[in-house]
Amino acid sequence: MQNKTRTALIAYAFLAPALILLAVFTFYPVIYGSYLGFTEYKAAQFAAGEAPRFIGVQNFIALFQDELFLKGLWNSIKYIAIVPALQIAALAIAVAVNRKLPFMAFFRAAYYVPVITSIATAAVMWDWIFQKEGTLNWVLQGLHIINSNSAFGWLNNEHTAIWALMLVTFWRGFGYYMVLYMGGLQAVPEEVEEAAYLDGATPFQTFWLVIVPMMRPTLLLCSLLSTFAAIRVLDEVVALTPGGGPLNSTYTALMYVYQKAFDGFNFDYGMASAAGLIIAVIGIGLSIVQFRLNREGEERA
């Protein structure tokens, strides 16, 4: 056996365990779940041992005629508005805490604490903050933005509930993306920055024209991750506004999937899979847009 063939076989032997796990726990569920989207498959069929019944695109037609799903889909798309604010803030703080100054390690750890805080604990804290007599209204009254008569519960108002949840998502995700951006910043060679300063560039010009272009892979990764996280938001919705908030103002597309598949007595796996497919297609479409924007930026640079 030639050395090249032997090396390839050894490489595949090392990769085999990971590939088998991926095939069983990732690829198969994705393929089978996609197939279920085109079938009628409910709990009664599952209990009776019956196979899913292929019905074509009927699930998708029913979904686009379901006002609750459309409301959830619109709220999920609206949730993406948090992505630019989250990324800009995380990058700005990453630049600030990436300096070699006293107590920077403390600030880095402090910003990361929300990432490792459980959603149950965070929900208790934020629910108290958003109450009518909570911290947020107390601060706004102190700043004379509202008075005691106009105070309201932020999670009980159909116009503010989803924005309140976005603030919680911002708080929980901020530290995670800050760490990723710090990794990107530390990968930029110091010699490049020093050369820019020697050429007369200001700190802002050095950051915007030298560092940011070199961080494009990190920027793209963080944008993709936060976009997918936004369109698949569920934890904050379930923990803080069970049922989808006032007038379903916080009801999201993934909550629809969860309720169809596992909540109550629906157990409609076909509809849940079809709704999941629609969310996946939207996520893939947004990813393609971001890849193209990133490529155009690289070509212009």
Q: Is 269 within 8 Å of 42 (Cβ atoms)?
A: yes
> Which pLDDT score, from 0 to 100, does residue 265 have?
67
CA atoms of 163 and 58, how far apart (whole Å) = 34
Which CATH number does the domain housing residue 102 bear?
1.10.3720.10
CA atoms of 91 and 114, how far apart (whole Å) = 17
- For 56-98, write each residue's pLDDT tens digit: 999 999 999 999 999 999 999 999 988 999 999 999 999 888 8
Confidence class for position 43, pLDDT limits 50, 70, 90 = confident
Inform me whether the pLDDT recorded for 298 exceeds 80.
Answer: no
Residue 19 resides in a domain: no
Inform me whether the pLDDT recorded for 277 exceeds 90.
Answer: yes
Residue 33 resides in a domain: no
> Which pLDDT score, from 0 to 100, does residue 1 have?
59
The 3-state secondary structure of the chain, one letter per residue? CCHHHHHHHHHHHHHHHHHHHHHHHHHHHHHHHHHHCCEECEHHHHHHCCCCEECCCHHHHHHCCCHHHHHHHHHHHHHCCHHHHHHHHHHHHHHHHCCCCCCHHHHHHHHHHHHHCCHHHHHHHHHHHHCCCCHHHHHHHHCCCCCCCCCCCCCCCCCCHHHHHHHHHHHHHHHHHHHHHHHHHHCCCHHHHHHHHHCCCCHHHHHHHHHHHHCHHHHHHHHHHHHHHHHCCCHHHHHHCCCCCHHHCCCCHHHHHHHHHHCCCCCEHHHHHHHHHHHHHHHHHHHHHHHHHHHHHHHHC
Residue 1 resides in a domain: no
Residue 32 resides in a domain: no
Q: Which amino acid is at 295?
A: R
Averaged pLDDT, 139-159: 89
* Domain containing residue 102: 38-299
Residue 230 resides in a domain: yes
> Which pLDDT score, from 0 to 100, does residue 3 have?
77
Overall number of domains in the chain: 1
Averaged pLDDT, 258-265: 83
Residue 129 resides in a domain: yes
> Which pLDDT score, from 0 to 100, does residue 301 have?
66
Residue 7 resides in a domain: no
Residue 79 resides in a domain: yes
